[in-house]
Amino acid sequence: MKKLAAEFIGTFWLVLGGCGSAVLACNYPGAGIGFAGVALAFGLTVVTIAYALGHISGAHLNPAVSVGLWIGGRFDGKDLVPYIISQVLGGIVAAGVLYVIATGNGNPIGGFATNGYGDLSPGKYSMTAALVTEIVMTFIFLIIILGATDDRAPKGFAGLAIGLGLTLIHLISIPVTNTSVNPARSTSQALFVGGEALSQLWLFWVAPIVGAILAGIVYKAIFAAKSENTQT
């Protein structure tokens, strides 16, 4: 239960901090933080939770990360579904809190930092562009996570490397999809927007999980220590 609570709280913070910065501060008149500020906010949520709760649950905060770590031999499969449920619930609760805050000035929620393609893409990118972006970005994200948490990696820097990696991923892909690489983050926002955001949600489950599976396979086959490669 400690692990599941840590995943719930961690994902809550990621969605509230990252999506909250996009909804409340990105385009604030005269003082908006812009895409770069939102990208940094997402990275900071991961850095802070990684050091605060990573020693309890691993600070996955993301169903795709849990799947990728499982495929890579770093995570017990029996914990996969409970982790994913905790992450999705944490994201939904955070989106609920953000909804209350965002509507406190009487304005509608607008896009609410949802992920999307076509008309829902900030740059009006196609479904194909969104699919490729989310697969590749999640692949790289999992390679960073698997590498930074490897026993052979320098100790104490994993949270920083992962948070900076997520920041860079957002800097690249916010114009394309508003950046998901995280099905829990996508689900939480789409539930409050509904309509087309919900109809496009499938892509933000499929693409990150495909990217994570590929990364788990590649890291285990090429980069893992021999002892990891021989584990069943």
As a whole number, mean pLDDT of residues 131-150 equals: 97
Residue 221: pLDDT above 80? yes
Neighbouring CB atoms inside 10 A of 30's CB total 4
Chain segment 80-127, per-residue pLDDT in tens: 999 999 999 999 999 999 999 999 998 899 899 999 999 999 999 999
pLDDT in tens, 7-18: 999 999 999 999
pTM metric for this prediction: 0.94
Report percent pLDDT > 90 for the chain. Answer: 91
The encoded tokens of residue 139 equal 């692949």
Residue 207, classified by CB atoms within 10 Å of its CB into exposed (0-12), middle (13-18) or buried (19+), is buried
| Helices first, then strands: H and E counts in the chain | 11, 0
- Which two tokens mark 207? 């693409």
Residue 227 clears pLDDT 90, i.e. is over it: no
Q: How far apart are CA 169 and CA 210, in angstroms?
A: 17
pLDDT of residue 217: 97
Predicted pLDDT at 143: 97
User: And the tokens for 201?
Assistant: 């949600």
Tokens 């649950």 belong to 57
Residue 19 DSSP label = I
DSSP state of 156: T
Give the span between the Cα atoms of 119 and 178, in whole angstroms: 12
Best CA proximity match to 187, nearest among 57, 94, 68: 94
- pLDDT greater than 90 at residue 61: yes
Distances, alpha carbon 158 to alpha carbons 131, 152, 175, in Å: 28, 12, 27
In tens, the pLDDT along 62-73 reads 999 999 999 999
Give me the domains of the chain, ranges plus CATH numbers: 2-229 (1.20.1080.10)
pLDDT surpasses 50 at 232: no
Is pLDDT above 60 for 45?
yes
